[in-house]
Amino acid sequence: MTTPAAVIVDAAAYAQAVEDAVKASAAYYEGGASPLDDDTYDRLVRGIAAYEAEHPEQVLPDSPTGKVAGGAVQGDVPHTVAMLSLDNVFSPEEFTAWTASLARRIGHDVEQFSVEPKLDGLAIAARYTRGRLTRLVTRGDGTAGEDVSHAIGTIEGLPDELAEPVTVEVRGEVLMTTAQFEHGNEVRTAHGGQPFANPRGAAAGTLRAKERAYTVPMTFFGYGLLPVPGTETALAEQLLERAHSDLMAQAAAYGVNTTASAAVPGITADTVEQVLARVSEIAALRAELPFGIDGVVIKADLAADQQVAGSGSRAPRWAVAYKLPAVEKITRLLEVEWNVGRTGIIAPRAVLEPVTIDGATITYATLHNPADITRRDLRLGDHVMVHRAGDVIPRIEAPVASLRTGDEQPIVFPEVCPRCGSAIDTSEQRWRCENGRNCHLVAALSYAAGRDQLDIEGLGTTRVVQLVEAGLVADLADLFTLTRDQLLGLERMGETSTDNLLAAIAAAKDQPLSRVLCALGVRGTGRSMSRRIARYFATMDHIRAADTETLQQVEGIGTEKAPAIVAELADLAPLIDKLAAAGVNMTEPGTTPPRATAADSGDEESGASEENEPAGPLAGMTVVVTGAMTGPLEKLSRNQMNELIERASGRASSSVSKKTTLVVAGENAGSKRARAETLGIRLATPDEFAVLIADFLD
């Protein structure tokens, strides 16, 4: 869908729009702290262009249209070849019109396109002399940029020395990955600085910073390779004649980082349809990428086409940016709510002035924990940058400090549990009510009775509230001692519903250990982790006897998670004993306990129960399920599918990566299928997968 232009009604509004756009552009390119988010800026510039098209006699000299960086940036280091911006398109229709215009200009349809992600960073030119990196220059106004050579040696993917002693210029984007951004803000705030609002701003500010007491890593992705004065004639001619895709392969061979190793590598395409398909693929993978993108860059790949098309004052005519819907917007933080989860965790949630991001109206965003609020220096009334991509829970990146008025107020942290009034355990980053699960007993019991845990049909939240308020249930184990007379004494509980509920509770006693463990809601575990723990240890006794070192033998449990699980199980010991006494199953079917350790038995060998099991058809495979299942798998929930995978000796995962072996793609499979295809991962339909694991289907 085309981004609508801002409506500008008269000359005064036009002049104000130009002033706002130039200020925003200057802030964006110089420090990354623009008062406008990308979507608002794009709409404003499109509105300016539309007004100028209707009133050419009123065009102001400061107008951002037709200028690199909106005309807001200047530099003092001349570029040997103009370093231009890109024109934008926002829809398939606009892109198709652009390709038609390009075809008219070069006299034929484009024979080959290159398609790359549009990285959300800062454009720079890296000059190499006889293979050594000698200078870094920002894009500036396109004709000259700022010298940032002090950053040499701090940017990953931009080697100090190339694999060959050539004199060339590599152009590309400096950015911060999500991990680098989080680390950078931690370091910055630890040194008394204001956190950056987003990764692009962090990269722009860090690249320009001199004589800091600390360094923050950044990453470079190359998108251009060209000759400069001093380049050998033969090499210069070669670079000018080669296709863009060939130049990127050459840059990678020199040792420069390109998108070739990313989940969204640059590719070539022969038709408009293929280009648009690739745009859709990249858009589908956007939320899972470890770095920000705001669109897709499409170029005429062949050098001959580029040379005939030429360039304008602002942008090359042979390349365009297909902008994707914005995933970041600026809005205001109105208040902070403090909610208590089923395990007693006290979680802050931001209440926002409603803002629309990628078609969804966002009113709330996660704030993680009190330490995160302090680190980001958030205040009530702040303008904040909110990020949302795909189905990811919206999060606040940081306040836009430049928009503060002085009326912002500090966020007040609770002194007692906001639910029950008990004391708060603040010893860890995530605060917790000292009453733990008993603080939110209804939520804890409702979760335990859920379909993917003990699957107690008829025990919904309303019924749980009744049981708790009647004093019949004080913990999970009490469910298994309920009597018929007790239930019949409750409102709206007849004989049939009572007998059905008692039968469901009795059946829950026979659920496998993995589901019992999941029902306990051990912090740091979920459904998949509970299955892995249960399959490794086979019995609850073996789990409870495990120390932190032994727990780390389970995939996914590291040095931080293991002690927390051990401590949690120790706290749950009385409840686990009550459950066992009530007859609840404490073993995992189809597994055997791990062999004794050397310390216990004198045997030098030790191992997990799964090593003793016959290998299933998915042994050694990591499987991801996406889309709606059909055929024999139609009625299985996602959790049941994951259980099935693990019974067949596989490992269930929720995300597609290079470690994924197989993706089961049902109807309406989206981004995960697209990523699997990009990575060349094997795909299977639900029917094909059902045949593969037929022996494990009930």
Annotated catalytic residues are 118
Could you give the CA distance from residue 86 to residue 63 in angstroms, rounded to a whole number? 17
Could you give the CA distance from residue 226 to residue 508 in angstroms, rounded to a whole number? 68
For strand 360-366 and strand 409-410, is the pairing parallel, antiparallel, or unpaired?
A: unpaired
Would you give the DSSP letter of residue 576?
A: H
Residue 523's nearest CA partner among 563, 468, 583 is 563
Residue 281's nearest CA partner among 627, 676, 680, 667 is 676
Q: Is the dihedral of CA 244, 246, 247, 248 positive or negative?
A: positive
What lies within 8 Å, CB to CB, of 42 at 6+ separation is: 3, 88, 90, 323
Three-class DSSP category at 692: helix
Could you give the CA distance from residue 530 to residue 546 in angstroms, rounded to a whole number? 15
Torsion of CA 596, 598, 604, 606, to 10 degrees: 40
For strand 622-626 and strand 651-653, is the pairing parallel, antiparallel, or unpaired?
A: parallel
User: ∠ CA 612-616-621 to the nearest 5 degrees?
Assistant: 105
Report phi then psi at 552, rounded to 5. Answer: -70, -5
Could you give the CA distance from residue 259 to residue 447 in angstroms, rounded to a whole number? 43
Alpha helices by DSSP H, 417-460: 441-448
Could you give the CA distance from residue 385 to residue 333 in angstroms, rounded to a whole number? 10
Helices 272-285 and 671-679: angle between axes, nearest 10 degrees: 110
How distant, in Å, are the alpha carbons of 12, 46, 143, 169, 223 from that of 73? 24, 20, 11, 22, 22
User: ∠ CA 637-638-641 to the nearest 5 degrees?
Assistant: 90
Residue located via tokens 């400061």:
62
